[in-house]
């Protein structure tokens, strides 16, 4: 088997520039040895010349190596680093990091679930179809200032969402700074549900309190007027007023126990009650209002109890 012992074969494992420098130094050493042997140059001067040649051959290789390492470091965009990706992925709310052009750099799992059409290195406007989102995003990109927007998401269920766009200064690949856009989405549905529940509860409670209060006012007017001297009517009206006042007190207790009302709002009643006396009580409570409006209430109820499933106060 033939063995290639040429200088290029000996230095082949070395990097190209270092191998070339070694070949130049070998040729320079041979040439200087011949010149020294012929007596044309002293050994000291030959060593100095060799040192200069070595410096000229090796220094460019070292500079190239350092430059190449800096280019390798700069070749990685700081915004695309794993640390930035980990920060976005660790945010509890849906989060998307965009560049100044609106392209997706990073997004977390919550954002991917909220908007499955989002893709890295693609424009976010194509995936987020809400006009409020697109308008806020365009304004944030154009002005590099924070923007907020609220919108309703109807898929898969109705949700009220808030979008916050925050400009984030980040280092660039060439040592400067630029501003990316961090989009975070907040689900406002629980707060909206609570507000709607509170409004409904206030409206229902106001209605429930208004009825016995109107009955009390009507009976008071009757007792102060036509029934002033009628002991039998006075006794009857006072009993009805006591019942209505007791009902108002129970309603106020329910208002002070909002959790009980919310928990029993959609619970099927288990108790069985007689509906006949409840109807008679309601008719008695509305008697004064009916007389004031010249309305006659005609009631035809059976003598036997009529049992139904329900809650007496709610009915």
For the chain, the farthest-separated pair of C-alpha atoms sits apart, in whole angstroms, at 154
pLDDT at 275: 93
Whether residues 172 and 202 fall in one domain? no
Whether residues 199 and 232 fall in one domain? yes
Residue 314: inside a domain, yes or no? no
Q: Are 216 and 283 in contact (CB under 8 A)?
A: no
Scanning the chain, the segments in alpha helix (DSSP H) are 7-10, 16-37, 43-74, 82-89, 109-114, 131-143, 189-224, 231-256, 258-263, 275-292
Of 21, 50, 74, the position where a domain reaches its end is: 74
Residue 315: inside a domain, yes or no? no
Whether residues 197 and 303 fall in one domain? yes
- Quick one: DSSP state of residue 269? P
Residue 1: inside a domain, yes or no? no
Of 74, 91, 111, the position where a domain reaches its end is: 74
pTM higher than 0.75: no
The tens-digit pLDDT sequence of the chain (315 residues) is 444 444 444 444 445 556 666 777 777 777 777 777 777 667 777 777 777 776 666 555 454 555 444 444 444 456 667 777 788 888 888 999 988 888 888 889 988 888 888 888 888 888 887 888 888 888 888 888 899 988 887 767 778 888 899 888 876 666 666 778 899 998 888 888 888 887 887 777 777 778 778 878 888 888 888 777 788 888 888 888 888 888 888 777 777 666 665 666 667 778 899 999 999 888 887 887 788 888 998 999 998 999 999 878 777
Of 159, 187, 215, the position where a domain reaches its end is: 187
Contacts of 98 (CB under 8 A, 6+ apart): 104, 105, 124, 137, 180, 181, 182, 183
Whether residues 196 and 302 fall in one domain? yes
Residue 220: inside a domain, yes or no? yes
Residue 263: inside a domain, yes or no? yes
pLDDT at 57: 62
Whether residues 52 and 84 fall in one domain? no
For the domain that residue 155 is a member of, what is the CATH number? 3.30.450.20
Whether residues 204 and 275 fall in one domain? yes
Whether residues 70 and 135 fall in one domain? no
Residue 227: inside a domain, yes or no? yes
Whether residues 134 and 231 fall in one domain? no
Q: What is the extent of the structural domain holding 282? A: 192-309
Q: Are 70 and 174 in contact (CB under 8 A)?
A: no
Count of the separate structural domains present in the chain = 3
């Amino acid at each position: 088997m033939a063995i290639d012992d040429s200088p290029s074969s000996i230095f082949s494992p070395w990097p190209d520039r270092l191998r070339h420098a070694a070949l130049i130094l070998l040729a320079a050493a041979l040439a200087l040895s011949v010149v020294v042997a012929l007596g044309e140059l002293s050994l000291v001067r030959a060593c100095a010349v060799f040192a200069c040649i070595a410096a000229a051959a090796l220094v460019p290789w070292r500079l190239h190596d350092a430059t190449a390492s800096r280019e390798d470091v700069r070749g990685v965009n700081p915004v695309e680093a794993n640390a930035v990706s980990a920060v976005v992925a660790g945010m509890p709310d849906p989060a998307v990091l965009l560049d100044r052009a609106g392209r997706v750099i990073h997004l977390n799992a919550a954002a991917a679930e909220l908007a499955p059409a989002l893709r890295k290195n693609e424009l976010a406007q194509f995936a987020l179809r809400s006009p409020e989102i697109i308008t806020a995003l365009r304004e944030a990109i154009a002005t590099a200032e924070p923007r907020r927007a609220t919108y309703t998401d109807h898929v898969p269920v109705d949700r009220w969402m808030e979008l916050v766009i925050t400009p984030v200064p980040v280092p660039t690949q060439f040592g400067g700074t630029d501003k990316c856009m961090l989009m975070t989405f907040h689900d406002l549905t629980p707060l909206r549900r609570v507000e709607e529940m509170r409004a409904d509860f206030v409206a229902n409670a106001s209605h429930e309190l208004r009825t016995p209060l109107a009955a009390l006012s009507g009976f008071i007017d009757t007792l102060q007027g036509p029934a002033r001297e009628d002991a039998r009517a006075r006794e009857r009206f006072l009993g009805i007023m006591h019942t209505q006042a007791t009902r108002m007190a129970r309603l106020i207790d329910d208002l002070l126990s909002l959790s009980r009302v919310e928990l029993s709002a959609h619970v099927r009643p288990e108790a069985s009650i007689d509906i006949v006396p409840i109807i008679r009580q309601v008719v008695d409570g509305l008697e004064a209002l009916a007389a004031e409006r010249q309305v006659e209430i005609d009631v035809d109820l059976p003598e036997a109890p009529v049992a139904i499933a329900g809650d007496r106060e709610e009915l």
